[in-house]
Structure 1
Amino acid sequence: MSSFNRFTAFASLVTLLICLGIIARSIPSISEVAHLATSDHNLPHAIVRNLLVRDLLDTSSTTPKPDPKEELSKEDWDKQVCKGGLLLDMMGKSNDDEAGKLFNPPREHAASDFQDFPNDFKKWGYSFVDQTQELKKNLAHDDLDKVFKDLGVSHQEDQWVGTRVWHVTDPDAAEKDKDNIDHQTYVVDGKTYRSSGADYSFAVNPNDGVLIIFDSFSPTIMGTHRTPLLSGDGLPSMQRLCDIVWGLWATQADGHDLKYIIIQDIMNWLTLGINREAHNRKGEQDDPWPGVEFSTDSDEGKALMASPNGYGVAYLLIQHKKQLGKYRKVSKITMYDTRGDDEPSMLLQLS
């Protein structure tokens, strides 16, 4: 091994140890971590993921949320930077086998269990609703033409497909009466499940390699609106945004290279806090397009990568190396607030 490679390996090890030290200081008890770790072993860096679930993604009404204008503490910021660095490290692994070793417990490969699309959508109770007509309004209303022009992306309507991915078995009945969702069911391997009403809205441009996420309401979130409440093992096994996004891309843009992912109108309080801190550290303000660009080599870019909105895209690349490319990673993140309403959009550029 060359001296350069030895130095790089040593530097990576030091970074990992520092990150684990920062993360360890935030763990309240071994028993709590053990309990969290048993909830899902199919995610990279279980300790990191558990902290994300506990600290970042808890949407229960009993969990107090900080003032959305409150600044992140130095410790919280350092945690985000380290988490983002770990996710980027996993994206950079050369193959599924190598990335799989970083799971807890280690897996033979990192690939997602959901690969058979569009069949997996039908199996797990999801329906597609065409939204191409509604998409025309969104593309005009969100002033995306400036973004598309700078990226060299077509704004022509015939290049775009709008799709609602809805966790209902009868979209027409659900559209007429939302309470009807409580009575919709599907069967997987002999077990009857109830529809959660999870709701996603996308736009896809296969030729230019662009996917836009307009809305994303997961089974976990929408299950709280069901009567009776839907949670735990009553939720579909296929419920993570990364699998939904990949399934849609595989169904509507198979064979095309995914280059850009745009997440519109972000409202997640933690992502907003990370974005605000990233801007402050760079001495920038929230601006309309072209906004502010953050390299994922920077601390600001790593922190945004670890945000609730960035994390799903990271996981998409980690678990779909075979289809998307073994060395694919997010190289740049651009934040911009076209409407000036403190609900910025996030552009993730893949390399």
Structure 2
Amino acid sequence: MSTSSNNGSFFGLLGPPRLSLMCLLLQVLVISTLPTTTATTTPPPPVSLDADDGLTRRAEPYPEFPSHYQGRVEKGRYLLDLMSVDNAGAAQRNGGASVVSPFQNFKDLTRWGWSRHILRYPYTDSRPGSLQAPFYEDFLDDAFQDPDHPVLKRQMLVVAYWHDQWFFGKDSLEKVMPSFGHYDNVAAPISGAFVFDQNWSPRYQQKKYKKGNVPELDHLSDIAFFEWVEACQDRGFNPKELKLMFRSHITYVPTLKVLQKALRDKGLKKYPFWKKRAVFKTDTPEAAAILGSTHGAGAAWMLIQHKDALGVKKITDIAVWAYKKKPSLFSRGGCSFDEDPDDCIVNIRFIVEDA
């Protein structure tokens, strides 16, 4: 589920409803012995040779944009400008401030309390506490079968990073409690595809449940980058082959409002189904608004802040469509904007190309 409000929990009060505290404790005890769900304790080769220990933050500020629709358009255009040039060019366009993430090495994950887990297709590990199949179920199947941009489901794997390890805070001499946030996403390196699936940020978890601590390494764009690279290493592919990014099952109201305005401006009165999906070229204000939304910006920042590993990439077009869980005679042609987002499953696909 792709939500900014992250309406879920990790266990009971600290996680997704499908996990319990006992299950998580069992998982922590036995994860190194599981044959299907893999907990990575020895980091794979680093993404770069950067010796940075992850202690630095994104020190330079980024501009603020209004939260209204035109503000999303402005933010999207700003992100597009940063996306299409190399690091030096992006810094110049960002007022001289570097856009490179300080987190480029897998050791940063361990430093800030993240554990790493992989579950490969066909996702058959049903033991308590293990990873489960993608939350999006079959909602994306039509998109995966696009002949121009096919995604091979049998080659997919869930890559999940859980903030469940005690860690040293920035100014702490003792280890502090983790937030129990988690980012569970899905990758098909053979197809160049990455799906943002279930994401509950440490900041959201800590704010909602008043427990745990937020690590310096907490942004979805950074974690998704590491997950993509790890998936590529697992399958033997180059991370620079990223071609498709999906945001699945969007329920976050501010993003939905942006999508609805963009669709209305395109002459649509409801979310279309896949066969009549709405496609926006990124030189349009509608595409810029979508890219400037919470769900667009996360994908954009992943590309912008990790150019060394991913290459200089740009998003060329954006598709928006819905999947109806319970179709009826009244749902021909799409879902109405006021339908329950748990029945009208709204999705976005970004086409990624070399800039």
Partner of 1:128 in structure 2? 116
Judged with a 3 Å threshold, the aligned counterparts in structure 2 of structure 1 residues 216 and 136 are, in CA distance, closer, same or farther, namely closer
Question: Whole-Å Cα distance in 1 between the matches of residues 217 and 101 of structure 2?
Answer: 10
Q: Which runs of 5+ in 2 are unaligned?
A: 1-56, 125-130, 325-334, 336-342
Paired letter, 1:100: A
Q: Does 1:148 align with 2:144?
A: yes
Query: Is residue 145–residue 155 contact of structure 1 (8 Å, CA) maintained in 2?
Result: no
CA distance in 1 between counterparts of 2:280 and 2:181 reads: 31
Mapped contact 2:156–2:186 kept (Cα < 8 A): yes
> Residue 269 of structure 1: which of 245, 253, 263 is its match?
253
Q: What is the alpha-carbon distance in structure 2 between the residues aligned to residue 154 and residue 47 of structure 1?
A: 36
Residue of structure 2 in register with 1:249 after alignment: 228
- Counterpart CA distance in 1 for 2:153 and 2:255 is 31
Separation of aligned partners in 2, 1:320 and 1:138: 25
The alignment's TM-score, normalised by the length of structure 2, stands at 0.68
How much identity, in percent, do the aligned residues show? 24
Distance of 1:196 and 1:47 partners within structure 2: 27
SS at match of 1:263: strand
| Equivalent position of 1:112 in the other structure | 101
- Corresponding residue for residue 217 of structure 1: 200
Partner of 2:351: 349
Which residue identity does 2:163 align to in structure 1?
Answer: H
Match of 1:42 in 2: 60
Distance in 2 separating the partners of 1:86 and 1:140: 30
> Which secondary structure does the structure 2 equivalent of 1:329 belong to?
strand
The residue type equivalent to 2:78 in the other structure is L
What is the letter of the counterpart of residue 321 of structure 2? Y
Matches of residues 1-351 of structure 1 in structure 2 within 5 Å?
A: 41-43=59-61, 45-48=62-65, 51=66, 55=67, 76-93=68-85, 95-103=86-94, 106-107=96-97, 109-117=98-106, 119-132=107-120, 133=123, 137-138=133-134, 141-150=137-146, 151-157=148-154, 159-169=155-165, 185-187=166-168, 190=173, 192-227=175-210, 229-230=211-212, 234-254=213-233, 255-256=238-239, 257-284=241-268, 285-290=270-275, 291-326=277-312, 328-339=313-324, 340=335, 341-351=343-353
CA RMSD of aligned residues (A): 2.4
User: Are the aligned partners of 2:321 and 2:347 in contact in 1 as well (CA < 8 Å)?
Assistant: yes
Q: Distance in 2 between matches of 1:114 and 1:121?
A: 9
CA distance in 2, matches of 1:100, 1:152: 32
* Separation (CA, whole Å) in 2 of partners of 1:143 and 1:337: 9
Q: 1:139 to 1:218 in 2, by over 3 A?
A: closer
Partners of 1:292 and 1:165 in 2: CA distance: 32
Question: What CA distance in whole angstroms lies between the structure 2 residues aligned with 1:140 and 1:79?
Answer: 30
Q: Report which structure shows greater RCO (CA 8 Å, sep ≥6).
A: 2
Q: Find the residue that maps to 1:153 and give its secondary structure.
A: coil
User: How many residue pairs were aligned?
Assistant: 262
> Is contact 1:87–1:306 with CA below 8 Å preserved after alignment?
yes
- CA 1:277–1:156 in 2, change beyond 3 Å: closer, same or farther? closer
Comparing both structures, which one devotes a greater share of its residues to helix? 1
Give 1:155 deviation, angstroms. Answer: 3.2
Amino acid at match of 2:158: G
Conserved 8 A contact 1:335-1:347: yes
1:289 Cα deviation after fit: 1.2
Change (3 A) 1:240 1:278: same
Give 3-state SS (helix, strand or coil) of 1:168's partner.
coil
For residues 212 and 289 of structure 1, what CA distance do their matches in structure 2 show? Answer: 17
**Shift of residue 139 of structure 1?**
8.1
CA shift, 1:40, in A, is 6.3
CA distance in structure 2 between the partners assigned to 1:129 and 1:40 by the alignment? 26
Which structure has greater strand proportion? 2
Paired residues of 1:160 and 1:204 also in contact (CA < 8 A): yes
In structure 1, list runs of 5 or more residues that go unmatched: 1-38, 56-75, 170-184
Shift of 1:343: 3.7
User: For the residues of structure 2 that align with 1:244 and 1:140, how far apart are their CA atoms?
Assistant: 19
**Deviation of 1:329 (Å):** 1.2
Looking at structure 1, the residues matched to 227 and 344 of structure 2 have their Cα atoms a distance apart, in angstroms, of: 29
C-alpha separation between the residues in 1 aligned to 2:152 and 2:94? 40
Q: Is 146-155 or 305-314 further displaced after alignment?
A: 146-155
Question: 1:154, 1:335 → 2: CA distance?
Answer: 17
| 1:114–1:120 contact (8 Å) kept in structure 2 | yes
3-state SS of the aligned residue for 1:196? coil
Equivalent residue, structure 2, for 1:25? none
